């Protein structure tokens, strides 16, 4: 038969709040331990071994709790049975009690007791069931409260360091003040509201300090995790979702992307009309991203966390003007063009590309490809000159509508003359790109950095490269 540990709570304050069951258990056990002597009712225990020395010797709280449990278990194994007392209630924010209950070396008997929370509800005038309050251990706040929206009663805010960790773990501080409760049930009881940003300055925490947080920022992390778990359930239990692959989802991804574009077209930037539709369509597109990540996770390749981490790190690397790395070169980007130029340069270096035009998807629509090629090539300063051919627009001016008309006119002219406009444009892009690549290659061979070269040097490489769109009748040299 395993030895027995009887676990009791001393209540939240003085000896008058200890239960009859606790007093009887103390009298029935000659070998007694208390987690800490820092409690008003510790005198009830009489001859007792305190376990404060573990807090003084251990390097972490995990070591403290393990040391306490091992000492209590060893004593129980020797004596057959021992009493272990903790502040408040054994079943509220007591990690050592959880560990003892789970320990196969001993049997445990846990007696109920009044907790600090019982006094807190009375002082706050709050019904925790109606309000949906969650009790969180301050020592594990960063993990247990991640994504929580509140309300929360934070227990064991017992040191300046623990309070500082709680404050630092909340990236978006609550707008409403928190209620700090100290010494509940004692003559020194103090209850006050304190703004979040002032907690570390105004509060001197001790072993009888807790905090009530009415609300937190919206739980983005929780909602995303719920969504991820829902997609995993669909993959496991829905026949249609289970049979999908990256390939089979391609048309759905394209369709959802176009529906987002349609929602953006209908969205009014000034009034916000169309927000609900845009929100819905963005959700549908997000489903495609999470779905692909789930398929990859099922195959053991990557998951959504890897996707999020990857884009986070990429954005940081490619915005050195916003996120300067310590010891790295100083980067300045005063306008959007400079940002794009920096982005392309950093991307080319990361991918090990020899040309600024490498990596452009060949399946892009011709016009999209033309614009991408022209934009990237301008960053090198060696793009061939191109004189556009357009219908006579008269005095109408040039804007999106007239440009569309001009492109339509060119497409119609191509059809009348038996020319495939898509192929013709791709051929023109090819000749243009050849000129850019040739100039880049010549400069690289001579060790010239075109990004910082003067215009005369760039013009020389353009002339030496030749063979570009500009050499044909539709352009100029």
Q: What is the pLDDT of residues 412-442, one digit of tens each?
A: 777 678 777 777 888 888 888 888 888 888 8
Does some domain include residue 341?
no
pLDDT of 474 over the 60 cut: no
pLDDT of 351 over the 70 cut: yes
Does some domain include residue 265?
yes
Q: Tell me what percent of the residues of the chain surpass a pLDDT of 90.
A: 44
Does some domain include residue 149?
yes
Q: What is the SS3 assignment for the chain?
A: CCCEEEEEECECCCHHHCCHHHHHHHHHCCCEEECCCCCCCHHHHCCCEECCHHHHHCCCHHHHHHHHHHHHHHHHHHHCEEEEEECECCCCCCHHHHHHHHCCCCEEEECCCCCHHHHHHHHHCCCHHHHCCEEEEHHHHHHHCCCCCCCEEEECCCCHHHHHHHHHCCCCCCCCCEEEEECCCCCCCEEEEECHHHHHHHCCCCCCEEEEECCCCCCHHHHHHHHHHHHHHHHHHCHHHHCCCCCCCHHHHHHHHHHHHHHHHHCCCCCCCCHHHHHHHHHHHHHHHHHHHHHHHHCCCCCHHHHHHHHHHHHHHCCCCCCCCCCCCCCCCCCHHHHHHHHHHHHHHHHCCCCCCCCCCCCCCHHHHHHHHHHHHHCCCCCCCCCCCCCCCCCCCCCHHHHHHHHHHHHHHHHHCCCCHHHHHHHHHHHHHHHHHHHHHHHHHCCCCCCCCCHHHHHHHHHHHCCCHHHCCCCCC
pLDDT at 149: 76
pLDDT at 362: 81
Residues 290 and 233 reside in one and the same domain: yes
Tally of CA atoms within 13 A in the half-sphere of 430 that contains its CB: 7
pLDDT in tens, 156-185: 898 999 999 888 888 777 888 999 999 998
Residues 42 and 109 reside in one and the same domain: yes
Q: Mean pLDDT in the chain?
A: 84
Does some domain include residue 477?
no
**Of 52, 80, 114, which marks where a domain is finished?**
114
Residues 14 and 27 reside in one and the same domain: yes
Q: Which has the higher per-residue pLDDT, 140 or 104? A: 104
Number of domains making up the chain:
4
Q: Which has the higher per-residue pLDDT, 315 or 171? A: 315
**What's the whole-number mean pLDDT along residues 340-356?**
73
Phi-psi region of 80 (alpha: psi -120 to 50; beta: other; left: phi over 0): left
pLDDT at 467: 45
pLDDT in tens, 460-469: 887 877 644 4
In this structure, the number of other CB atoms found within 10 A of the CB of residue 419 comes to: 13
Does some domain include residue 346?
no
Residues 200 and 270 reside in one and the same domain: no
Residues 256 and 193 reside in one and the same domain: no
Cβ-count burial of 180 within 10 angstroms (0-12 exposed, 13-18 middle, 19+ buried)? buried
Residues 258 and 192 reside in one and the same domain: no
Residues 178 and 233 reside in one and the same domain: no
Does some domain include residue 29?
yes
pLDDT at 327: 43
**N residues, the chain:** 477
Does some domain include residue 354?
no
**Of 213, 237, 272, which marks where a domain is finished?**
213
pLDDT in tens, 392-404: 555 556 777 777 7
- Domain of 145, CATH number, reads 3.30.950.10
Residues 226 and 253 reside in one and the same domain: yes
Residues 376 and 458 reside in one and the same domain: yes
Q: Which has the higher per-residue pLDDT, 198 or 461? A: 198
Read off the tokens for 254. 């394209």
- Domain of 100, CATH number, reads 3.40.1010.10
- CA 280 – CA 259 distance, rounded (Å): 10
pLDDT at 392: 59
Q: Which has the higher per-residue pLDDT, 324 or 393? A: 324
pLDDT of 470 over the 50 cut: no
pLDDT in tens, 359-383: 788 877 777 777 677 767 766 666 6
pLDDT at 207: 85
Of 7-11, 202-206, 305-309, 329-333, the poorest mean pLDDT is in 329-333
Residues 412 and 393 reside in one and the same domain: yes
**Of 213, 232, 267, which marks where a domain is finished?**
213
Q: How confident is the model at residue 443 (pLDDT cuts 50, 70, 90)?
A: confident
pLDDT of 44 over the 70 cut: yes
**What's the whole-number mean pLDDT along residues 342-367?**
75
Residues 434 and 384 reside in one and the same domain: yes
pLDDT in tens, 234-255: 999 999 999 999 999 999 999 9
| Residues 394-399: contacts with CB under 8 Å, at least 24 apart | none
pLDDT at 380: 66
Does some domain include residue 335?
no
pLDDT in tens, 64-119: 999 999 999 999 999 999 999 999 999 987 889 999 999 999 999 999 999 899 99
Residues 365 and 467 reside in one and the same domain: yes
pLDDT at 421: 75
- Domain of 305, CATH number, reads 1.10.287.1080
Domain of residue 140 covers 118-213
* Contact between residue 228 and residue 290 where contact means Cβ atoms under 8 Å apart: yes
Ranges 39-43, 166-170, 385-389, most confident: 39-43
């Amino acid at each position: 038969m395993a030895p027995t540990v009887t676990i009791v709570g001393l209540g939240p304050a003085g000896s008058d709040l200890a239960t009859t069951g606790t007093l009887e258990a103390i009298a029935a056990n000659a070998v007694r331990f208390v987690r800490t002597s820092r409690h008003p009712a510790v005198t009830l225990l009489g001859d007792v071994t305190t376990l404060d020395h573990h807090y003084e010797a251990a390097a972490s709280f995990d070591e403290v709790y393990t040391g306490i449990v091992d000492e209590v278990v060893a004593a129980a194994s020797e004596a057959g049975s021992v009493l272990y007392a903790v502040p408040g209630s054994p079943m509220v924010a007591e990690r050592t009690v959880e560990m003892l209950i789970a320990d196969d070396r001993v049997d445990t008997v846990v007696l109920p007791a009044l907790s600090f929370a019982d006094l807190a509800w009375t002082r706050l005038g709050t019904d925790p069931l109606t309000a949906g309050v969650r009790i969180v251990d301050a020592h594990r706040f960063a993990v247990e409260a991640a994504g929580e929206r509140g309300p929360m009663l934070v227990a064991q805010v017992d040191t300046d360091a623990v309070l500082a960790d709680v404050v630092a773990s909340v990236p978006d501080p609550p707008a409403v003040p928190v209620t700090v409760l100290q010494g509940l049930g004692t003559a020194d009881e103090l209850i006050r509201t304190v703004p979040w940003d002032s907690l570390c300055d105004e509060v001197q925490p001790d072993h009888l300090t807790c905090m009530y947080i009415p609300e937190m920022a919206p739980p983005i992390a929780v909602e995303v995790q719920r969504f991820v778990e829902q997609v995993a359930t669909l993959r496991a239990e829905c026949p249609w979702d289970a049979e999908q692959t990256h390939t089979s989802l391609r048309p759905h991804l394209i369709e959802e992307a176009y529906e987002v574009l349609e929602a953006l077209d209908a969205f009014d930037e000034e009034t916000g009309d169309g927000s609900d539709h845009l929100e819905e369509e963005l959700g549908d597109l997000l489903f495609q991203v999470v779905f692909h990540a789930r398929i990859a996770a099922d195959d053991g390749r990557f998951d959504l966390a890897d996707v999020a981490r990857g884009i986070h790190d990429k954005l940081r690397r490619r915005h050195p003007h916003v996120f300067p790395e310590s010891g790295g070169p100083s980067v300045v980007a005063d306008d959007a063009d400079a940002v794009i130029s920096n982005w392309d340069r950093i991307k080319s270096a990361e991918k090990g590309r020899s040309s600024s035009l490498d990596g452009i998807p060949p399946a892009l629509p011709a016009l999209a490809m033309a614009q991408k090629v022209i934009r990237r090539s301008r960053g090198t300063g060696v793009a061939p000159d191109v004189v556009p051919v357009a219908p006579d627009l008269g005095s109408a001016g040039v804007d999106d509508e007239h440009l569309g008309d001009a492109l339509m006119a060119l497409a119609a002219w191509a059809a009348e003359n038996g020319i495939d406009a898509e192929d013709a444009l791709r051929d023109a892009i090819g000749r243009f790109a050849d000129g850019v690549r040739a100039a880049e290659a010549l400069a690289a061979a001579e060790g010239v950095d075109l990004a910082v070269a003067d215009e005369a040097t760039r013009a020389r490489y353009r002339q030496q490269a030749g063979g570009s769109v500009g050499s044909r009748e539709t352009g100029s040299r």
